[in-house]
Chain A
Amino acid sequence: MAASRNINFTTDDFKLIDRGSQDIEYLVAEGPSLSYWREAWCRLKMNRRALLSLFTILFLLLFTWVGPWVWTLDPARQDLVQISRAPHLGISALVVDDNFNWSGVIADNELTVNHRHVESLSVEVINNEEVIDNSVLSDDASYSEGLAAPSNLRVVDKPNTEYVRLTWQPVVGAARYLVYRNERQPESATDLGVPLWETDTARDVSYQDRLKLEAITYYYSVVATDGLNESNHYAVIQVDVQQAITFSDAVYSEVLPPEASKLDSIGRMVELQAHPLGTDYLGRDMLSRLMLGARISLFIGIVAPFLYLAFGIIYGSVAGFFGGLLDEWMMRFADFVIALPFLLFMILFKVSFGIGPGESGVIPMLVAMIVLSWPSMARLARGQVLQLREQPYIEAAKLFGASSWHMVFRHMLPNMLSVILVSLTFAIPAAIFTEAFLSFIGMGVVPPTPSWGSMSHDGMKTLMTHPHELIFPALFISITVLAFNILGDGLRDALDVRIRE
């Protein structure tokens, strides 16, 4: 085979092959040896699954480069009205005033209540909040068990996701009050839910809740305390919260036109920005972040593994092929590199590249990954070469006087390919997550630039409460990895002359 290197190409050699199997049979059986890679390509084209994965990869590239032209939402825009929102295609919301400053209600003394601050807000009591029980007593209520429950717990203004305003009557003997919030009706004094607040004094008989309000039903409870012990008696109120958006947020997120007048807009219903894949922990659109994030992830996930695997293969092949002392030294150097502490040298790379604060460290990250990650591939390649070079066909090629390069690249590499491809497909997610970890500790991409890896990294923390923040980026990583795996399998089969259906 090696002897017949001076081949005269004819135009026939470059003719497109028919899809008919006969031609392929012909090619495989009698074609010139140089068309090996072409033959493989023909076979790959016949593998529907492999083609599908090839298209998937093309789709991902389109998704990241063309996607932002179609879905034009700014991936850095924070919509604090919609934090960690599950996928939706539009929610209507009430426009409310931006000014939440509510000085609340201060009791003059323990028995009378004075609405000290009555600016623009009405102090009328909304009637649609049903007061369930104003003084639930525990099983064996007696005076010694604590202070009475505050009476007349009620909501001031229309409760919405921007604020819920509560006020109540003072309790004789109370030092302070505690405000709780639950998502289901409390069953006992130990089941009041989230402790939101403890008032400063006994005269503070109101509270404005703004804590991550959702458009659901809440049960607010107020308990008096003598300063040391909480009373067993509590007042509870059911509050249905309506989705709202402040006027300035509405203008900012373009659900109201910029020229909209504040007076006319307040009280109107508007449609909130749709987020087909939901939003993240700062209310940023997941879809546009995934589109943008694909760039970094695909770049790091594909370029880094290709480069370091290529280097590892060459390194390992050379070591394995020539053997002897060279092999020994080269492999010991590889051991040395594996053992270096990755994080420490990552920091060093960043420092030595002179990457300033807030500047993207993608290139030093890439270099560091290549410099520090190749040895395992080198070991694998060396092992394969050691195994392969004892094969009879290599001996045969040697006898024919084939050059070392020829033997490595023409005979050994195709046979090593399956193992290399496995490593490659595993190196992709590894690189994506390494990027995420390094970005997290400030070594890689700088915020607000997203990447799939860092998105899943962030999503992990809300796995139970907002799973979509993990699922979507993880899905995209999985699709990429799957595509490369199947493509790899297809490639392997295509290159394996021995497997024939």
Chain B
Amino acid sequence: MLISARLYLQSSLLIPLIISGLTSKAILFIMLYSMMNSEVLAGLAINSAQRSIAIAIADEPPDLSSLTTTDSLSIMILGHVVEGLVGYDAHNQLSPAVAERWQIDDKGATFWLRKSARWSDGKPVTAHDFIFAWQTALAPKTGAAYASILYPIRNAEAINKGKMPVDKLGVVAKDDHTLVVSFEKPTPYFLGLTAFVTYAPIRRDFYMKHANSYGAEAEKILYNGPFVIDEWVHGASLQLKKNPHYWRRAQVKLDTIDIPYITSDPGARYNLFKAGSIAFAGLNAEVLKDALKNRYKIRRFVDGVLFFLEFNHRPNRITANLNLRRAIQAVLDPDVLVNKVIGIPGNIPGKSLFPKWLKGVHQQFRVEYPAKEVERDYDLARHYLAQAKQELGLESIPPLVFLTGDSPNASKEAEYFQRVLKRHLGIDLKIDKQIFKQRLARMKAGSFDIVSAGWGPDFDDPITFGNLFASWNENNHGQYRNSEYDRWVAVAENTIEPQRRMAAMAEMQRILIDEVALVPLYERGTIYLQHERLKGVARRIFGGDPYFGFAYIE
């Protein structure tokens, strides 16, 4: 008792400590003042006086060298600051960019470059800059992951494999503004390829000056697009400014694209949008309700990526059995996956390796050649399963290894599949969740039965999906081998005539569904918010998305 009374007294000694920590009003005021001041500088979502907008990106762009870049975020930034021979217009159609006009046949192509195209230092963009970029990308020592996209050019593959010197590349500059390309073989989709970032020009003298650090800093890139990177604080912010030398500068209506926030948390980005700090934000299921409550205009965009389950077709794997694959296909319902399990608006249930948006001869490929509908039929599934067991000589199907990534959605989907297979087929699924590189290592080694995969297209032609299951494709992780399929891929790749190509593609689609090479799950869709006064933002599958080159403030 006595002791605690004394302790009680002591506690009063702490009060001055607390007070001194809190009540220096003057300090508090100074702090508040400094905070408000800083906000004036920080900028807002849109500023019509300065014609600037602010956006957030998910990550630091990993590689801003157009030669070696592979990721969508870097391609989005590069899409604003570099320009190839052709580009995409506001309606996502291929349109003239550095090339004013062109002529393409099955032997090669000629591009006439516009004389007004300039680098950000004012010097003209010439045909030599394209030749240099392409040669450098193909030079083996560059190690460009996307070098294969240049393979339609004559000798490109041999150069990339180190069998020929780079100057043997089938491209010549007739003069400073005429570029003549000869093909290795007829390439019907070549024009679309030239819009890809690897085809962008690079000027030799500038590149040589920064040989080993090209693209690492804002001042170590030469720009020829509508914007230049004015400031790049790694991991923190980027600022794009209008390029004063851009040939179409009169049509660029934004002066500044400010990227002051880098965070991959969708909740944080939504909060920034709500606070009026950014003009553009994606939505997930968690913030959707709040967005509805705030009566924001919600937009939808299908980004072109297809998600699917890929089977391991290696002969020693149980999934090499067709009837087992059929049984699995017959119980998996992409519609339930999309609507109930994922539950985010925008996704389209998958029916084919070829997504709905792909163009065919005249209209959408899938309208011209509809994919065969696969019925969800549990009785049929069990029938297939019984057949599979008989063929394999097994009493029961051993647990299948399901390889997947470590994203929240990936595990949710995996758990759903696990339950469905157990419920309808009595098959156990062992979920093998792996972080990125370990998952890739396992995919490459083929240590899986089923893998959850996704594919984003590289160029606007169905073959970018179709050749994924060609036996020679490095990305064919399940090692699906079908000589008939390979033949059709060859037809689609080497024929100019659209009708024959699309018919070949339709054959490929038929084979994949009949043989259950994969189970298409969904075509990814996203929903997003855009500031009500910001207009003309292009959402596009190719050329970097989103694109603000046509955007303006109302």
* Residues in A lying within 8 Å of B, measured CB to CB: 76-78, 80, 83, 100, 182-184, 187, 190-196, 198, 200-201, 210-212, 228, 252, 281-282, 347, 356-359, 440-442, 446-448, 458, 461-465
Contacts and interface: CB of A to CB of B under 8 A. Distances in A.
A344 B115 CA distance: 54
B343 A83 contact: yes
Nearest to B347: A211
B434 A194 contact: no
Interface string B310-340: 0000000000000000000000000110111
B231 interface: no
A80 B285 CA distance: 17
Interface string B408-439: 10011011101100010000011111110010
A100 B335 contact: yes
Contacts of B285: 462, 465
Given A357-B447, A464-B289, A211 B434 contact: no
A463 B266 CA distance: 13
A190 B297 contact: yes
A358 B435 contact: no
Nearest to A462: B286
Interface of B: 91, 285-290, 292, 295, 297-300, 335-336, 338-341, 343, 345-346, 356, 364, 367, 399, 401-403, 406, 408, 411-412, 414-416, 418-419, 423, 429-435, 438, 447-448, 527, 532
Contacts of B340: 80, 83, 210, 212
B412 A358 contact: no
A200 B341 contact: no
By secondary structure, the A interface counts as loop
13 contacts: A80-B336, A190-B297, A198-B300, A200-B364, A282-B341, A282-B416, A282-B419, A357-B448, A358-B401, A440-B433, A448-B419, A458-B408, A461-B408
B186 to A, nearest CB: 31
A347 B438 contact: yes
A223 to B, nearest CB: 12
Contacts of A252: 423
A194 B402 CA distance: 33
A344 to B, nearest CB: 11
Contacts of A194: 288, 292, 298, 345, 527
A368 B414 CA distance: 26
Given A356-B430, A358-B402, A465-B285, 5 more contacts: A190-B295, A195-B527, A201-B367, A282-B419, A357-B447
A191 B448 CA distance: 46
A403 to B, nearest CB: 34
A211 B343 contact: yes
Contacts of B447: 357
A1 to B, nearest CB: 25
Contacts of B289: 183, 464-465
Contacts of A463: 286
B297 A448 contact: no
A210 B292 contact: no
Contact of B430 (A212, A228, A282, A359): A359
A442 B416 contact: no
A180 B340 CA distance: 18
A446 B91 contact: no
B439 to A, nearest CB: 9
B355 to A, nearest CB: 13
Contacts of B438: 347
A448 B292 contact: no
Nearest to B366: A200
A252 B408 CA distance: 27
